[in-house]
Amino acid sequence: MLTSPKPRRRRDRQQQSLRQEYEEFILQRIEEFKQQLSRTELLAIADEAVQELELGADGQLVLTEVLMLEHVDRMIMRRLNLPTYRRWREKHLRMRHAQREPTHWNLDAATPLTELAEDFEADGEVLVVGGGGAGAAYYLAAHGWPVVFIDPELSVVDGVEMRAATEALGARFQALVVNFGSWFPDVRPVLTVVDPAALGHLDGAERTTFLEALTDRTPHGGVHYVLPSQRQDGVLQLGPEILATHYEGWQLERSRPDEPRWLLAIKP
């Protein structure tokens, strides 16, 4: 797989430290809690924070707004019983290990994504087109890739974004509602994952326009992975074979006959 021309082996990606991820996790939970409170309830917690600070200061504390806000956050952490860094780290590492297995996302164990997740240069990003590619999006984000996910349906985008947040992948995940026939996000992905069924509602001209934009924005050596077609209501949806005609001049690699039918297209 991925015979010449092959993308450059990626350098070690600069990732957030676990400490940074923990701090983002804590801040996210605190903000979610605050958003559920009324103004009156939030002010009551602030008053309680002021009282605690004054009681413990022995008259030597200069109470500032920053100090009070920090103490409010500490109080919310106690109320939510949020984990310490050590406890969070142990759970987080176990979760990340599981997330880096394709079967965790209901992906085939032999998916080309297992190799693609390791083979690209460090400064690239991933574009995932269509709801059928959600599992691939999570899998690649779990391997440290910044992912842009697009779909024309708001409900699909909201669901994918919520799942990414639940799986602690939100820091490297962006989900956008995009009308495939008229607009394209400003990205130049080194790896693009395409759910062909997501393009099934487009007519031939619209599909061609969208795929031309997709291929034009792909740098040389970039790869498109077209997912196997799916059945919906017993009908086989648009498949990789039809999209292969849009990759003239690209190096094409196909699945074996005994595998789900996918397509890899490598831009020379």
* 12 found inside a domain: no
* 37 found inside a domain: no
| Domain tally, the chain | 1
* 142 found inside a domain: yes
* 118 found inside a domain: yes
Residue 179 bridge partners (DSSP): none
Residue 36 contacts by C-beta under 8 Å, 6 or more apart in sequence? none
State the pLDDT at residue 9: 44
Query: Is residue 153 scored above 90 in pLDDT?
Result: yes
* 120 found inside a domain: yes
Give the predicted TM-score (pTM) of the model. Answer: 0.76
* 3 found inside a domain: no
- Give per-residue pLDDT as tens, 185-232: 788 899 999 999 888 888 888 888 899 999 999 999 999 999 987 655
Q: What is the CATH number of the domain that holds 218?
A: 3.40.50.150
List C-alpha distances in Å: 82 to 33, 59, 157, 170, 225: 12, 30, 28, 19, 40
* 2 found inside a domain: no
| CB distance 63 to 86 below 8 Å | no
d(CA 211, CA 192): 11
- Give per-residue pLDDT as tens, 87-112: 999 998 999 999 999 999 999 888 89
What's the sign of the alpha-carbon dihedral 16, 139, 264, 114?
positive
Domain containing 121 equals: 105-266
Residue 120 pLDDT grade (very low, low, confident, very high; cuts 50, 70, 90): low
In this prediction, residues 117-126 reach a mean pLDDT of 73
* 166 found inside a domain: yes
**What is the Rg, in whole angstroms, of the alpha carbon atoms belonging to the chain?**
23
Residue 265 bridge partners (DSSP): 224, 252
